[in-house]
Amino acid sequence: MQAIKALIQKEFLIDYKDRQVWMSVFLYVLATNYVVYQSFHKVKDAEVWNALLWVIILFAAFNVISRSYDQERGDREIYLYTLASPQQVILAKMMYHSIFMVLVTFFSFLIYSFFLPFPSAIGMDTGLYLIGLIGGAIGLSTTLGLVSAIAWKTKGGAGMVAILGLPIIIPMLLAIIRYSEGVLNGMSWMVLDRYAYSLLLLIALGASLGYMLFPYIWKE
Amino acid sequence: MEKLIRQSWWKISGILVLAGALLFAMKTPLSPGILSIEKVEQAEQTLSFELIGYNSHFMTSNGLQVWIQNDAHSYCSKDLEIIDDSHLLIGIDLPEILPSNLFSVVLNDDIDGTLASLDGIFIKGNVEPSDGNGKCYEQVKLTEHGYFSMPYRTILYETIRNLNFHVPMWFAMIFLTLFSFVTAILYLVKSDPRYDDMTVAAIHVAMLFAICGLSTGALWARFTWGAFWTDDPQLNGAAISTLIYLAYFMLRRSVNDPDKRARLSAVYAIFAFIMFYVFLKVIPSMAEFSLHPDTTDNPSFKDYDIEGKLKIVFRTATAGWIILSFWIFSLRYRLLTIERKRLDHE
């Protein structure tokens, strides 16, 4: 646990020292939101509004997570072998990216609803929608965690994360889009719980598979 | 494993089983049924219409009876003219006051058994619900046709035979991906390159069967649902699995070192398999409705087949297809083994 905490701190410090990753992600979110606003101007349909937001978040997640091993090349990679176990490394990466993705998601949500107003309906529970945002952000970063580790070891680069990750992410994306669509349509937790549970199941599976399989890929 | 691959008894018996089941599935006639009711004319108190049967034997059968029926009410045919094996002209006397406007047409003879039209006919007239006049043919016993046949269903008709192609092909695909999942785990545990070859070969052949399953399914959907592709959870699953395994081959191409390639692709195969099959289990139950039988509230083939004739043919065909897929897999695997030996030799 101590090691994981130190590793998360390390990730944070590296990103803080060279703020290029943060800047690029937040700029990416700003720019896409503005492009979406310019192409749509008005979104009347709550379902379209919701789907667009999740597509923006999805590509922001690819942007964030495909860079997650950029620091770990050459000497630093070898140094990391001596510091921690692979399980600690992957869990730390997943946690750090979950926190980061939650921030990116909220930022994206704010900018998006600044340009295209939030379609609030009568009887809608905004709290449930925010929980959905957090769950979706964590889900995206845990599922893509292992995929980006695989892509790190190939010569494909960032494009590889998209090729390998997109088909795998579809189930999770469907669950989270159905969930938040339901919230926007004013459904209660009684109806939505199955989406939430399947999302939790997918997060748990993604994290535990990463935990089990990462040791096989991290050393050459 | 290596020994089993070289033996030929299971290949021969698999092909025999498959050929037998498919011959049976293609050659067995469909049950007789009423295809449509046409030229319905109503004048005063008489009703006349033409009945078109499918696979029926009006010319050779005895004791042909036709009546229209609504709950407890039935009115028998007065005039019955047989044109040929599948066409009948029928005239029926109607009472002044009808119990209802909607009737179904029922037919009975000694070869075809009892057949009923699903659509029914609409009769104009004064309606007053009443208790019923009982059966018009007192002696009629409702029977099944006497010979062996495939079930007759509207919408499906002859395409019901595709059940023995389309569905087993997906079963074979699932079997092979399950197999590749196991060999991928074995590779990570034992680091034996033979397991990597097995994984690749199994996924290759699984893709072949996925393409076959997709194309037979698309044709079937065109005939029954009206379009090659529909928005259906099962089709979603098929598309995603195809994408996943295409990405698997893409991943293999982007790594040069054979050892690393095998390790990375094994990890991806395991991860993708579990995420995908969880999805298959979770998402269809999340969907509101699926056109595929057996997934949501849709009636399944089980209801069509009371005596389980269809089930026996289907199970035999499934076994045959799976053995065939394993045979193709073993050929691909042996090819990869030879290539590996040649590379080692050089």
pLDDT for residue A138: 94
Q: Which of B268, B276, B278 sits opposite A150 (nearest CB)?
A: B268
Contacts 24+ apart (CB under 8 A), A18-24: A21/A64, A21/A67, A21/A70, A24/A63
A126-130: long-range contacts at Cβ-Cβ below 8 A with a sequence spacing of 24 or more? A128/A183, A128/A189, A128/A192, A129/A180, A129/A183, A129/A184
Which residues does chain A have within 8 Å of residue B240's beta carbon, measured at their own beta carbons?
167, 170-171
CA angle at B94 for the pair B88 and B100, rounded to the nearest 5°: 105
Chain segment A136-168, per-residue pLDDT in tens:
999 999 999 889 888 888 877 678 888 899 988
The length of chain A is: 220
Q: How many residues does chain B have?
A: 346
- Taking one residue from A and the other from B, the number of pairs with CB-CB distance under 8 angstroms is 93
DSSP structural state of residue B114: E
SS3 B181: helix
Range scoring the smallest mean pLDDT among A5-19, A66-80, B242-256 = A66-80
Of B188, B272, B278, the CB nearest to A216: B188
Contact (CB, 8 A) for B275 and B243: no
Point out which residues pair with B52 in neighbouring strands: B36, B87
- Quickly count: other Cβ atoms within 10 Å of residue B133's Cβ: 12
Q: Do B244 and A167 touch (CB under 8 A)?
A: yes
Q: Name every chain A residue with its beta carbon within 8 A of the beta carbon of B268.
A: 147, 150, 164
pLDDT at B281: 66
User: Is B279 close to A170, i.e. CB distance below 8 A?
Assistant: yes
Measure the CA–CA gap between B133 and A128, rounded to whole angstroms. 61
* A chain contacts of residue B277, beta-carbon cutoff 8 Å: none
Q: pTM score > 0.90 for this model? A: no
- Tell me the mean pLDDT per 10 residues along chain B, length 346: 84 91 83 82 82 84 81 78 84 80 82 78 76 59 68 78 88 93 94 92 94 90 85 80 90 89 92 81 59 55 58 87 94 93 86
Q: Which of B51, B115, B113, B49 is CA-nearest to residue B85?
A: B51
The A-side interface with B (CB below 8 A) comprises 143, 146-147, 150, 153-156, 160, 163-164, 166-168, 170-171, 174-175, 178, 194-195, 198, 201-202, 205-206, 209, 213, 216-217, 220
Q: pLDDT tens digits, residue range A38-54?
A: 998 888 888 889 999 99
The mean per-residue pLDDT over the stretch A197-209 comes to: 89
d(CA A7, CA B330): 46
Cα distance between residue A94 and residue A90, in whole Å: 6
Nearest CA in chain B to A163: B247
Chain B residues lying within 8 Å of A166, measured CB to CB: 243, 247
Dist CA B68 CA B19 (whole Å): 43
- pLDDT of amino acid A135: 92
For A204, residues 6+ apart whose C-beta sits below 8 A from its C-beta are none
Give the best residue of A152, A170, A209 to mutate against chain B (max B CB count within 10 A).
Answer: A170
Q: What is chain A's mean pLDDT, rounded?
A: 86
pLDDT of residue B298: 47
Q: What are the chain B neighbours of A143 within 8 Å (beta carbons)?
A: 275
* Closest-CA distance of chain A to residue B329, Å: 24
Q: For residue A74, give the DSSP letter.
A: T
Nearest to A93 by CA among A156, A163, A9: A9
By the 10 Å C-beta count (0-12 exposed, 13-18 middle, 19+ buried), B307 is classed as exposed
In chain A, what residues touch B264 (CB-CB under 8 Å)?
150, 153-154, 217
Consecutive H or E run containing B121:
strand B121-122
- Report d(CA A220, CA B264) in Å as an integer: 11
Q: Which residue of A has its CA nearest to B187?
A: A216
The contacts of residue A81 (CB under 8 Å, 6+ apart) are A218, A219
CB B105 within 8 A of CB B68: yes
- Which amino acid, B327? W
The dihedral sign for the CA sequence A211, A215, B1, B6: positive
Cα–Cα distance for residue pair B105/B74, rounded to 1 Å: 10
Residue A127 has pLDDT above 60, yes or no: yes
ipTM: 0.87
For Cα atoms B277, B279, B285, give the angle at the middle one, nearest 5 degrees. Answer: 115
How close, in Å, is residue A111 to chain B by CA atoms?
31
The token pair at B3 is 């020994």
**B250 touches A: beta carbon within 8 Å:** yes
Residues of A within 8 A of B286 (CB-CB) are 174-175, 178, 194-195, 198
Give the type of residue at B133.
N
CATH homologous superfamily, domain B33-127: Immunoglobulins (2.60.40.10)
Cα nearest neighbour of A198 on chain B? B282
Nearest to A167 among B188, B240, B264 (CB): B240
Give me B314's structure tokens. Answer: 């289907």
Among chain A residues, the shortest Cα distance to B240 is held by A167
